[in-house]
Amino acid sequence: MTEAASARALLPLGLFLALFLGAGIYFQATGVDMAFYQLASPVAILPAIILGVLLSKQAFEERINTFVAGVGDRNIVTMCMIYLLAGAFSTVAAATGGVDAMVALGLHVIPASFLLPGLFIIAAVVSTAMGTSMGTLGALAPVALGLGQASGIDLPLLAGVLVSGAMFGDNLSIISDTTIAATRTQGCNMSDKFKANLKIAIPAAVITILWLISYDTGATPPQIPEANLWLSLPYFFIIVLAVMGLNVFAVLTLGIILAAAFGMVTVDYQWVAFSQDIYKGFASMQEIFLLSLLIGGLSALIRQQGGLKFLATTVGNITKRLFKHPQQRAAFGVAGLTGLTNFAVANNTVTILLSGEVSKRLAEEGNLAPRQSASLLDIFACVVQGALPYGAQALFMGASFGLTPIQVSVNTGYCFILGAVALAMIIWRKPLEGREKLEPSTT
């Protein structure tokens, strides 16, 4: 039985954020690389779970049952299974040369004078195909650094361009953990969320490209790495199937098989390596897999104790004072809640997992369609994540290019533009009534 709204029930969440953020600030101050990832999030959440159990007024066995029921929630388990398949596809495709093929394909078609917008497009395509901003940056950073040094392009700007493109795909990709988390928490199809996101992301990307074209990068020809371009086909395959609306389990399974088949035909990819890479892909998702399960259990405890009801009521009351239209209230509520949470945890997937249930409630109260709340949830998590100087993306690119993280974050123009476009669409949208009528909207 859910208790009345209670701020006290949010103390476990506050403890988790304090530990996760506090450790990151400490390691950042002491000069440790990837400071906000030194304390693993599944470990940081354990004291919060213990506190949540202690604060419950239920009998001890019922407290444990509430936690376990949250861990075993259908949406949580489904999300975790998708994580495993997404990790397997990314690892198999990379092992067979798919990442190199995507990079080479992009560089084949980029004129030297179009280098900055071209690298943004490459990063956007690769991250959309791979489903990971960090994997994209890891693959492209060495190539981009060499191009930047050879052509004399401002390195902070170049680093920001790569992060911008990587966050484009992180936000849109159907195998991104943020997309998986957003669609499962809001209860919508990935293809619906993708289409809603696209209507915001494409205008933002076009504006970004026009901005980047204004920079003079000279005419230094890029050095193209050797790769079999046919190996890029599995990436395009899963994108097309996802847009067609095929079930995500089927899309990812077919993608894994196709990537392996191309590898076996072109680069003598062996069955033993295939099986090992699948497991490596599973293992690469270990942290987010465990965190998703544990957050599901913690959320169940917080929900049972009235914490999520309190949070939804508080955010709802603030937006009611600021906005008259219920859909605008819901949209700004989702955006604000997501942005503030991401500032605290510096991880867009963790942000979506933490704020997903409250966002869904705000959307239902404001008559906002699930695909729209999922889109806004993912957009504003990625906007803040890409612009954070203590986020993994800025920290990684700073270390790779010999820059300070703040030099990287202030140049992630697409993230700022995406946030501005999303807010503009919320403000200027036409009032619509009913969730069914709301479905075709752009936010």
Domain boundaries, the chain: 73-216+226-288+307-433
Give the whole-angstrom CA distance, residue 129 versus residue 143: 18
For position 430, what pLDDT does the model report?
A: 46
Closest to 266 in 3D by CA, of 314, 224, 230? 230
For position 433, what pLDDT does the model report?
A: 39
220 has pLDDT over 70? no
Task: Give how far Cα 10 sits from Cα of 294, 301, 348, Å.
Answer: 16, 10, 20
Query: Does the predicted model carry a pTM greater than 0.85?
Result: no
Give the whole-angstrom CA distance, residue 21 versus residue 274: 38
11 has pLDDT over 70? yes
For position 251, what pLDDT does the model report?
A: 79
32 has pLDDT over 70? yes
How does pLDDT run across 354-366, given as a tens digit for each residue? 888 888 888 888 8
How does pLDDT run across 44-82, given as a tens digit for each residue? 999 999 999 999 999 999 999 999 998 988 778 877 887
For position 112, what pLDDT does the model report?
A: 66
For position 442, what pLDDT does the model report?
A: 34
Question: Which of residues 128 and 346 earns the better pLDDT score?
Answer: 128
- Residue 193, token pair as written in the block: 């969320």
Question: Which of residues 409 and 135 earns the better pLDDT score?
Answer: 409
**3-state secondary structure (DSSP) of residue 411:** coil
For position 245, what pLDDT does the model report?
A: 60
CA 364 to chain centre: 23
Tell me how long the chain is: 443
For position 439, what pLDDT does the model report?
A: 40
For position 328, what pLDDT does the model report?
A: 84
131: region left, alpha or beta (phi > 0 left; psi from -120 to 50 alpha)? left
Ranked by mean pLDDT, which of 34-43, 143-152, 242-251, 372-381 comes out on top? 372-381
Average of pLDDT values for 29-42?
81
156 has pLDDT over 70? yes
For position 345, what pLDDT does the model report?
A: 67
For position 273, what pLDDT does the model report?
A: 95
Structure confidence at residue 159 as a pLDDT band (50, 70, 90): very high
Structure confidence at residue 132 as a pLDDT band (50, 70, 90): confident
Range in 103-112, 309-318, 380-389, 390-399 the model is least confident about: 103-112
How does pLDDT run across 399-431, given as a tens digit for each residue? 778 887 788 999 999 999 999 999 998 888 643
Asked if residue 24 lies in contact with residue 14, where contact means CB atoms within 8 angstroms, the answer is no
Structure confidence at residue 434 as a pLDDT band (50, 70, 90): very low
150 has pLDDT over 70? no
Average of pLDDT values for 10-37?
84
* Neighbour-count burial for 351-378, b at 16+ CB within 10 Å, e otherwise: bbbbbbbbbbbbbbbbbbbbbbbbbbbb
Structure confidence at residue 320 as a pLDDT band (50, 70, 90): confident
375 has pLDDT over 90? yes
Average of pLDDT values for 36-43?
83
